[in-house]
Amino acid sequence: MNRREVVQKFLLGGTVLVFVPSVLDSCTKDSTMNPGTNPGTNPGGTSINLDLSLASNSSLTTAGSSKVVQNILIFNTGTNIVALSAICTHQGCTVGYNAGKNDIECPCHGSVYSTSGSVLVGPAPSALRAYPVTQDGNILTITL
């Protein structure tokens, strides 16, 4: 083996040692949650609880406000708090609540959804998934 082959193998081996752990780590489930959330008391994390008394969640008490938590768009219409999937059914972009138009809009390809999640304007092929929301005092629970 000549010097060039030794150097190439050394560089390749070093590259593998540096990048493989980070690639493997990115494939693991992340158990961290957004501040002010927890998986609830149900086994398997079948709900999200938001404490509205925390500064990070308190805006949801105001009409027109919205927040995305764990790929769920939570917004206050002024009459109730709604939770829908934040993932557009067209190509997976993150949608957002437009309080001025009282609808949900996808910034990627222009799909528009109603506040119940149904498609108003395509190209989205299907509705956003809706999640039940309950409130007990300052605790907002979204059942997954």
DSSP string of 7-44, one letter each residue: HHHHHHHHHHHHHHHHHHHHTSPP----TTEE--SSTT
Please tell me the total count of domains within the chain. 2
Residues 6 and 66 in one domain: no
Q: Does residue 103 share a domain with residue 44?
A: yes
| Confidence tier at 98 by pLDDT (50, 70, 90) | very high
Q: pTM to 2 decimals? A: 0.69
pLDDT class of 2 with cuts at 50, 70, 90: confident
Residue 50 structure tokens: 């938001």
Pick from 109, 85, 19: nearest CA to 97: 85
Q: Are residues 103 and 44 in the same domain?
A: yes
Residues 74 and 115 in one domain: yes
Q: Are residues 13 and 76 in the same domain?
A: no
Residues 4 and 22 in one domain: yes
Q: Structural domain of residue 75, as residue ranges?
A: 37-143
In this structure, are 42 and 73 located in the same domain? yes
Element of type H or E holding 66: strand 66-69
Residue 32 confidence (pLDDT) above 60: no
